[in-house]
Structure 1
Amino acid sequence: MSQSPLPPSVLPPVGETELELLSTRAATVIERLRDRVFAPGTSKRLQLSFTVRKAAQMVGRTEKTIREAEDDGRLPVAEKDAETGRRTGYALSDINRMRQVFGTLPHRADTDEAAVIAVQSFKGGVGKSTVVCHMAQYFALKGYRVCVIDCDSQASTTSMFGLNPDVDVDDEDETLYPFFRHGGPKSLHYALRATYWPGIAMIPANLGLYDAEYEFAARMVREDAFVLDRLRDGIDSIKDQFDIILLDPPPALGMISLSVLRAANALIIPAPPNNIDFASTAHFLKMMNATLGDLAEAGGARDYRFVKILATKMNDNKSAHVAIKRMMDAVFPQDMLQAVLKDSAEIDNATANLHTVYELTGAQTRTETHRRCRAYLDAVGREVELLIRKSWPSHHAGLRKEGLL
């Protein structure tokens, strides 16, 4: 049946030519933004530097112990300022070297299972990538071995870690896409790459990953194998190298999102406390429950170490936010994280320059706004860290000693 022509209008028609022009203009804006952040011939670097006092806190030893280890050669002597003679500070890699020397690295035992955490929601704009990036860096600052897997073709997390998805990431070699294809690699090692953050490796994404949705659909039609467990198999091939693996899935109920649900052994569900987003979270939980039930019949049940809802973008000055957050706490008394990620201009301003709050330095870290925002992020990280450690038997004695178990 032929399509009826549109009735006459005073507005000019928008066809393929106009849409192509619109797309080209949008690409130009993105290119200009990325040119501002990704200067040619440069790469993102971590500028953090820690005083000996802060280093002692992070390592769990005294300043005197650190200096003695430098004097007796167990640690390299810290560089000093030529004029003042004071230490210029320690990099995160130096901190981790100290932890290794003093035996205070928090790594899991080989008998513990790596935490594979999906920050999952079927709705965009809830702070998913923000949570992934900041949690990854929180754990790295603590000394954990972290892997971030960007499963979203929008590649926001990839960009935050200093990679231009359109330039620095090859479709065929460096994302999850080759692994999802029929006859693809047996392991995910091919896609792992180091980042500028000591302790964080990642598997990046770009727009080409979107084609994996079609690849999955085609394979499910023609193959008997339960292909949605392909990602879980891939993570099994690399997880011995890491303590914590964070998954950033696309904000949609597609094949990749379902694969993420099957691959994870823990879930964090970000949920801003407003009517629309909370309704979306309720629908997500209902759909997830039904979907996982259907998938279990085909590929076996999948249990999680923990599933927690995290209130994000909370604004205490909005009465509706406060009321809905109170309702969330009442409805999900055991399922909400106690920590809340408040709405903060600090996060927005950092993200505009493809930074996180954890990598800001200098005067911008001495404001009250920064301190408050850092406190919110630290509280989320600490609570999730405790859940992870409770899932590791090798940490139970330490937790009891700390009065946390």
Structure 2
Amino acid sequence: MTGTVHINTRIRQNAETLAAALEGHMHKIFAPDARKELRLFSAGEAAELLGISTSFLRKLHFDDKAPEVHTSPGGRRHYSADDLLELRRILEANAKTRGAYQRGRRDGDKLQVLSFLNFKGGSGKTTSAVHSAQRLALKGYRVLCVDIDPQASLTTLFGYRPEYDFLNSGTIYDAIRYDDPVALEDVIQKTYFTGIDLAPGGLMLQEFEHETPQALINHAQPPFFARLATALRDVEQNYDVVIFDCPPQLGYLTMAALCASTGVLITVVPNMLDVASMSQFLQMSADLLDVVSNAGASMEFDFMRFLINRYEPNDGPQQQVLAFLRQLFDDEVMVAPMLKSTAISDAGLTHQTIYEVDRAQFHRNTYDRALDSLNLVNDEIESMIQKAWGR
């Protein structure tokens, strides 16, 4: 019949067209061989991240107790993330209370492993995970991001092109596969963001979902639910926090992440369709985790929280849904919701986050509202980590 096209041919054409367009988009944003770079931070931003006043920061420079930093022709100081780490070290050395400025793990503290997950796509899972990782890194924590989503959005946000850079190897799959796995340290990538390393994701992760049923029949060791936890053991001394960005489905990868986690953050958009979907997700999770628990998996979390995402404070129905969730789950719903913001979505157009973009590129009030919202959310997560360490 004239004009008919096989659906597989059409899909392949569309895939190739889109891949070429995305490649062109990436070349516009970054030079072909360039990697992303983290911007400098103003004195006000640096002081806020360090937990000191701008006047005290100025005094450190006046007393020659601070490192030399980039200074604009107008005399304004700008700080790199490495400058912030050096300032933390100086402040901690002179602090009256241990851990006032360097708040990461101490001897005896267990690695904090956080899973960001939801059954439903579009719940802001990756956005939440990357902003949390970056805020923690800027506050001096050593963070490992592990992208276990085959779509690899988190990996893309760190300036990689998974379909080119990690097409056949180099992802977290290599460290958890059943056939000749490599050490996790062999797939971890340093990122442009000081304090954050990345175990990339990519399409190869689908192989783990396909191979696990056969591995279960063959009684492969360690079992699927322990493979991420086992891989982490070799590198855990290098990090304070690990963040898993999970796929939007309840498969073997998500269950393996849950079994390796000390904390779980379930992102939920406050509308009834999403809440209904989350209800199914929780029921399925409970049933499946019962099975792996009976098989010997550890199921002890320091905390589990619902993170309200894409929240619009002036939306009446959303307010009702949020009140409904708080009534049901009380303090398991995080105090701070993450606001829906054009600043966050606009930053995403260039594969950036609010912490990376320059405030001058946005309407000041829009940017400040988004930033304040993110800081409240991520500082609440930090407080849960600190509490888990007994502080």
Alignment length (residue pairs) = 379
The worse-fitting range, judged by mean Cα deviation, of 219-228 and 91-100 is 219-228
Q: Identify unmatched segments of 5+ residues in structure 1.
A: 1-8, 397-405
| 8 Å CA contact 2:341, 2:370 repeated in 1 | yes
Which residue of structure 1 aligns with residue 87 of structure 2?
Answer: 98
Aligned residue identity for 2:16? T
State the TM-score, normalized to the length of structure 1: 0.87
Shift of 1:260: 0.9
**Aligned partners of 1:374 and 1:38: how far apart in 2?**
25
Aligned-residue CA RMSD (Å): 2.2
Which residue of structure 2 aligns with residue 23 of structure 1?
Answer: 15
Shift of 1:318: 2.7
Which residue of structure 2 aligns with residue 216 of structure 1?
Answer: 212
**Aligned partners of 1:177 and 1:89: how far apart in 2?**
39
| 8 Å CA contact 2:69, 2:83 repeated in 1 | no
**Aligned partners of 1:293 and 1:214: how far apart in 2?**
22
The worse-fitting range, judged by mean Cα deviation, of 12-21 and 361-370 is 12-21
| Partner deviation per Cα, 1:315-364 (whole Å, 9 max, x = no partner) | 23332212111111111112100110111111110111100011111512
Aligned residue identity for 1:113? K
Q: Identify unmatched segments of 5+ residues in structure 2.
A: 93-100
Aligned residue identity for 2:12? E
Shift of 1:60: 4.4
Which residue of structure 1 aligns with residue 177 of structure 2?
Answer: 181
| 8 Å CA contact 1:38, 1:164 repeated in 2 | no
**Aligned partners of 2:313 and 2:224: how far apart in 1?**
44
**Aligned partners of 1:162 and 1:43: how far apart in 2?**
6
| Partner deviation per Cα, 1:351-384 (whole Å, 9 max, x = no partner) | 1110001111151256100000111101101111
**Aligned partners of 1:76 and 1:315: how far apart in 2?**
42
**Aligned partners of 1:251 and 1:60: how far apart in 2?**
36
Which residue of structure 2 aligns with residue 190 of structure 1?
Answer: 186
Distance 1:224 1:161, change over 3 A: closer
Out of 60, 63, 68, which is 1:77 matched to? 68
Which residue of structure 2 aligns with residue 402 of structure 1?
Answer: none
Which residue of structure 2 aligns with residue 341 of structure 1?
Answer: 338
Out of 320, 324, 329, which is 1:332 matched to? 329
**Aligned partners of 1:56 and 1:16: how far apart in 2?**
55
Q: How does 1:6-405 map to 2 (within 5 A)?
A: 12=4, 14-51=6-43, 54-60=45-51, 62-63=56-57, 65-67=59-61, 71=64, 75-81=66-72, 83-84=73-74, 86-103=75-92, 104-169=101-166, 171-172=168-169, 174-185=170-181, 187-225=183-221, 226-364=223-361, 367-393=364-390, 396=391
**Aligned partners of 2:140 and 2:28: how far apart in 1?**
32
| 8 Å CA contact 1:165, 1:205 repeated in 2 | yes
| Partner deviation per Cα, 1:283-331 (whole Å, 9 max, x = no partner) | 1111111111111111244111000001111123332212111111111
Distance 1:221 1:169, change over 3 A: same
The worse-fitting range, judged by mean Cα deviation, of 304-313 and 24-33 is 24-33
**Aligned partners of 2:151 and 2:278: how far apart in 1?**
21
Structure 1 stretches of 4+ with a deviation exceeding 6 A read none
| Partner deviation per Cα, 1:213-251 (whole Å, 9 max, x = no partner) | 112222122125323211111112212111111000111
* Equivalent position SS for 2:287: helix
Shift of 1:122: 1.6
State the TM-score, normalized to the length of structure 2: 0.90
Structure 1 or 2, whichever has the larger Rg, is 1
